[in-house]
Chains A and B, each alone.
Chain A
């Protein structure tokens, strides 16, 4: 279920309305009636197969799958409206979010949704155990158990085939006549995100930075909350769990804020990322067929696509969460305006960067040791960050490259600081513009490893980027790319130093309303024929 799909629109509308009207008796009655009518209708239409289902488990499974998430959502709404009297409105809301989040994930695969629930339950009990235990070794064992299970599942689902494949290649290269069988596993969507969330919770409880959550439903919502479940932002338990305890009140301002984020994300995804995919996909499908100029242009298009795709998803997630009364971390802060790579990683996928800093880089020693130790920590952290993104040699090289570039920047920064003749010109406006341009170009070139499937393909791309080659032109009109670049540049200019907020405050209300409507309309009009899944879903 994509955020920018009709399915999600219906799903979110139902959750939103039931969520905010649970405190109204008339609304609860209406929801119960509607839910009972819907469930009854679908149940009646499946009645004949149901008799047969009692005799056949396989058929029962088919019946369950054909009902799908709307049925689950209706049952969830019915259940929570019934539970209001027993649990109170606030807890009933939490249960509604939990059940809706389960339906949201189960819309992809219900068995994987069950696995997420099982690991979440385990983390809940382990954290409770850690808190209850006075013995440090026992606490450490429980933490280790949590880490092993979470990372073990991540490795099994995501990296086992990569490992087997690479081992097979190595054996063949060594002359062995063997081929290792690959595992037939489906990678659970968003596994990297919720694994990191679970780890941050258990580690924080272990370190005593936060108490273990006592309410199971609230803890499960922290992990399963549907806006961030699939592709982040990676939320911190310390930030999110207290929000689940606060009484939620309807707030027009918050809703407006949510709508603003959601529309911005929708525009980024439909009007820019999906549109840029039309430039990018055909070229990367056959790299040797296109000329050098085309490949440079397509690389620019891909830089825009990946940024708008992921930041668009994050914005929509933040917007949807705001509409339900929750605040998620802002994940992007105009990273392409960064003047160096260190700054870029402070502005790009902020929730991942800070997670890696807090739970990997600092425990490794951070910047406390000698220069070479710091460099080792940076390279190790970024290489693992690359692997976190995907199980392939390309991602590994990309992460390693990021680490090396960050170390290179540290060295240059230290060198320049002691030399005013170098440092001062770099800090002027033209110097900063050059640094921004260079940072963007370097990052954009590193994205070749991200978009290509193999190192050989990446090599082909680099070769054609450097050595002038003839070939086909762009699969789209150049002006389409030019317009998009101008729009993104203009948006960055408006967003720079919060200029937009000052302009917005001076605009009359009707104009701002029309602006929202225009933003939604342009996102819908510019959406290409075939919508694409979010790039970061694969992580």
Chain B
């Protein structure tokens, strides 16, 4: 390589251009990386931040420090937990109206629940009662690596969370490498969030759906009842697909790391003086029949152990709702969610009464 004095003006200019371009690109990336971490977290983890912001807004608009109930869960919770109705039911029974929030995130299992709870606490939101969905498929795994590894994407994670997730064998080696790479070119790794923020029309129609635009204020996404839905061929295909997809995953052994995460979430609640209950969401009969004989017993034994050692109430709602109220064998229709909310509220009332007013609302 030839450097320095001997260069012609044209070559000197080219060198200046190249070095300038490299510096400009590196600087932009560095600023973007810092901005995403510190000022624009919504670009980092849109799914979490969107739900948190909604909760903050609702807590902020309440007159007094309200009793806060948050349900951490998967898409089953997102569709099935009619938070506004639970809130209305509880408000009628409690001295002050509570705030009930749906924190259901598609694909989220015990590890995501732990992550979301840690973040809520770190962000100054201290619920009074946390309901943790028990998603059987996500407590099982073929290779000991938690099934929800797909959702633990590097772009979502903050630095301190890597150590937290390490104990659950996540993120995977490749994802961990990607976590570092995202610092080099955040504009590539966060491109979806960036384009959504700047010009969503450049994305395919419906691409921003999962980001929460179709959730209600309490982050519940009601599934409307469809006339004759059960009879349509498309619906039948969907039902078969859901059953087939889950039949395989329900045959897997219990995943130690996922169980640990669930236990840790419960322990965290206890440490933080937060009420906690485990909820097994409603399932249609066809889904309940999928469980091989040993699987449900194994999961159930683990949950009972948790109940005994931690004193955590376990609400088994798996057979609460009739098959007609399901969109597919494990997603409740809005009408089913309403029935579920009615009954769940009755179960929650005893859990809230002793703590109502005893704990503060969101901390600053």
- Measured CB to CB, the closest approach of chain A to B224, in angstroms, equals 21
Kindly list chain A residues whose C-beta atoms are within 8 Å of the C-beta of B14.
252-253, 255-257
Whether the pair A255, B204 counts as a contact (CB closer than 8 A) is no
Q: Using a Cβ–Cβ cut-off of 8 Å, how many residues does chain A contribute to the interface with B?
A: 36
Q: Is A249's CB under 8 angstroms from B2's CB?
A: yes
Smallest Cβ-Cβ distance to B198: which chain A residue: A525
B202 to A513, Cβ gap below 8 A? Answer: no
Q: A252-B15, A517-B28 are in contact. Are A275 and B1 (CB under 8 A)?
A: no
Distance in angstroms from A125 CB to nearest chain B CB is 38
Whole-angstrom CA separation of A443 from B188 in the bound complex = 34
Contacts of B50 in A (CB 8 A): none
The segment out of A144-152, A237-245, A291-299, A475-483 that lies at the interface is A475-483
Q: How far is the CA of A527 from the CA of B1 in the complex (A)?
A: 34
**Contact status of A509 and B1, CB under 8 A, knowing A251-B11, A524-B191:** no
Whether A21 contacts B20 by the Cβ 8 Å rule is no
Q: C-beta contact mask, A509-521 vs B, less than 8 Å → 1, else 0?
A: 1101110110011
* B289 CB → nearest A CB, Å: 35
Question: Shortest Cβ distance from A304 into chain B, in angstroms?
Answer: 14
Query: In this assembly, does B34 line the interface, its C-beta being within 8 Å of a C-beta of chain A?
Result: no
CB pair B201–A20 under 8 Å, yes or no, is no
Q: CB-CB contacts of B22-65 with A at 8 A, as 1s and 0s?
A: 01110010000000000000000000000000000000000000
Q: Are B201 and A513 in contact (CB under 8 A)?
A: no
User: Shortest distance in angstroms between B81's beta carbon and chain A's nearest beta carbon?
Assistant: 29
A259 to B24, CA, bound (A): 15
A288 at the interface (CB under 8 A from B): no
Q: Tell me the chain B residues, 279-335 only, with Cβ under 8 Å from chain A.
A: none
Instruction: Tell me, in angstroms, the Cα distance from A255 to B195 when the chains sit together.
Output: 31
- Report the minimum CB–CB distance from B189 to chain A (whole Å): 9
- The reply to whether the CB of A250 lies closer than 8 angstroms to some CB of chain B is yes
Q: How far is the CA of A259 from the CA of B202 in the complex (A)?
A: 27
A521 contacts B25, C-beta separation under 8 Å? yes
Tell me how far the C-beta of A539 lies from the nearest C-beta in chain B, rounded to whole angstroms: 28
Whole-angstrom CA separation of A107 from B203 in the bound complex: 32
- Which residue on B lies nearest to A250, using beta carbons? B1
Contact code string A1-35 (vs B, CB < 8 Å = 1, else 0) = 00000100000000000001100100000000000
| CB neighbours of B13 from chain A (8 A) | 509
Chain A residues with Cβ below 8 Å from B15 are 252, 256
Query: Given known contacts A251-B11, A253-B10, is B21 in contact with A526 (CB within 8 Å)?
Result: no
- Please, which residues of chain B bring their CB within 8 A of the CB of A513? 16-21, 23-24
Contact present for B11 and A480 (CB under 8 Å) = no
- A6 to B181 CA separation, bound complex (whole angstroms): 11
Whether A520 touches B201, Cβ cut-off 8 Å, given contacts A256-B18, A525-B188, is: no
Interchain nearest-CB distance for A187 vs B (Å): 31
Residue of A at shortest CB range from B8?
A253
Q: Is the CB of A256 within 8 A of B17?
A: yes
- Taking the complex as formed, is A278 at the interface, i.e. its CB lies under 8 A from any CB of chain B? yes
Tell yes or no: B185 within 8 A of A by CB.
Answer: yes
Chain B residue nearest in CB terms to A520: B25
Is B10 a contact of A483 with CB atoms below 8 Å?
A: no
Distance in angstroms between the alpha carbons of A525 and B201 in the assembled complex: 14
Q: Tell yes or no: A174 within 8 A of B by CB.
A: no
Residue of B10, B17, B202 near A526 (CB, 8 A) is B202
Residues of B within 8 A of A529 (CB): 192
> Is B18's CB under 8 angstroms from A252's CB?
yes
> Is A509 in contact with B16, judged by CB distance below 8 angstroms?
yes
Q: Are A278 and B191 in contact (CB under 8 A)?
A: no
Instruction: Establish whether residues A475 and B205, one from each chain, have CB atoms under 8 Å apart when the complex forms.
Output: yes
B7 interfacial by beta-carbon distance below 8 Å: yes
CA gap between A476 and B205 in the complex, in Å: 5
- When distances are taken between beta carbons in the complex, the residues of chain A under 8 Å from B12 are 252
Cβ–Cβ < 8 Å partners of A250 in chain B: 1-2
Report A271-330 residues with CB < 8 Å from chain B CB: 275, 278
| A526:B24 contact, CB within 8 angstroms | no
Closest Cβ–Cβ distance, residue B234 to chain A (whole Å) = 14
A456 to B195, CA, bound (A): 38
Chain A residues with CB below 8 A from B260, complex form: none
Q: Which residues of A contact B11 (CB under 8 A)?
A: 251-253
In the bound assembly, the distance between CA atoms of A510 and B201 in angstroms comes to: 32
Which residues of A, 454-494, contact B by the 8 Å Cβ criterion?
474-477, 479-480, 483
Residues on A with C-beta less than 8 A from B18 are 252, 255-256, 259, 513, 516
A525 CA / B23 CA spacing, docked (Å): 18
Given A510-B20, A527-B188, residue A475 in contact with residue B204 (CB < 8 A): yes
Chain B residue nearest in CB terms to A260: B17
- Would you give the shortest CB distance from A519 to chain B, in whole angstroms? 9
A521: chain B residues at CB < 8 Å are: 25, 28, 187
Chain B contacts with A in 179-197, Cβ cutoff 8 A: 181, 185, 187-188, 191-192, 194-195
Residue of A nearest to B2 (CB): A250
Known: A255-B18, A516-B17, A527-B188. A480 touches B24 (CB 8 A): no
Contact partners of A21 in chain B: CB under 8 A:
1
Cα A78 to Cα B176 in complex, Å, equals 30
Minimum CB–CB distance from B207 to chain A (whole Å) comes to 9
Q: Which of A244-272 contact B (CB under 8 A)?
A: 249-253, 255-257, 259
- Given A253-B10, A477-B202, decide whether A514 and B24 contact each other with a Cβ distance below 8 A: yes
Query: How far apart are the CA atoms of A474 and B11 in the complex, in Å?
Result: 48
Cα distance A249–B7 when bound, in Å? 12
Assembly CA distance A476 to B208 (angstroms):
12
Contact in complex: A278, B24 (CB < 8 Å): no
**Per-residue A-contact encoding for B104-137, CB less than 8 Å = 1, 0 else:** 0000000000000000000000000000000000
In angstroms, how far is the closest chain B Cβ from the Cβ of A457? 23
Minimum CB–CB distance from B7 to chain A (whole Å) comes to 7
Report the minimal beta-carbon distance from B147 to chain A, rounded to whole angstroms.
Answer: 22
Whether the pair B204, A278 counts as a contact (CB closer than 8 A) is yes
In the complex, what residues of A have CB within 8 A of residue B202's CB?
Answer: 275, 477, 479-480, 483, 526
Least distance between B47 CB and chain A CB atoms (Å)? 16
Q: Which residue of A lies closest to B10 (CB)?
A: A253
Which chain A residues lie closer than 8 Å to B205 at the CB level?
A: 474-477
Minimum distance in angstroms from B2 CB to a CB of chain A: 5
Q: Is the CB of B204 within 8 A of A509?
A: no
CA distance A255 to B188 in the complex (A): 24
B192 contact set on A, CB distance < 8 A? 529
Distance A253 CA – B202 CA, assembled complex (angstroms): 36
Q: How far is the CA of A466 from the CA of B183 in the complex (A)?
A: 51
Q: What is the distance, in angstroms, from B340's C-beta to the closest C-beta of chain A?
A: 34
Given A21-B1, A529-B192: A480 and B201 interface contact (C-beta under 8 Å): yes
CB distance from B329 to the nearest CB of A (A): 28
CB distance from B179 to the nearest CB of A (A): 15
Cβ–Cβ contact A252 & B7, under 8 A: yes
Whether B187 contacts A479 by the Cβ 8 Å rule is no
Q: Which residue of A lies closest to B26 (CB)?
A: A517
Q: Which residues on the A side are within 8 Å of B1 (C-beta)?
A: 20-21, 24, 250
16 more A-B residue pairs beyond the given contacts A250-B1, A516-B24, with a C-beta to C-beta distance below 8 A: A252-B18, A253-B11, A256-B17, A259-B18, A474-B205, A475-B204, A476-B203, A509-B20, A512-B17, A513-B20, A517-B21, A517-B24, A517-B28, A520-B21, A525-B191, A525-B195
Top 6 A-B pairs, shortest CB-CB distance: A513-B20, A516-B21, A517-B24, A256-B14, A477-B201, A517-B25
Identify the A interface with B (CB < 8 A): 6, 20-21, 24, 249-253, 255-257, 259, 275, 278, 474-477, 479-480, 483, 509-510, 512-514, 516-517, 520-521, 524-527, 529
B interface with A by C-beta (< 8 Å): 1-2, 7, 10-21, 23-25, 28, 181, 185, 187-188, 191-192, 194-195, 199-205
A-B pairs with beta carbons under 8 Å apart, 13 shown: A250-B1, A251-B11, A253-B14, A255-B18, A256-B18, A474-B205, A480-B201, A509-B16, A509-B20, A514-B20, A517-B21, A517-B24, A526-B195
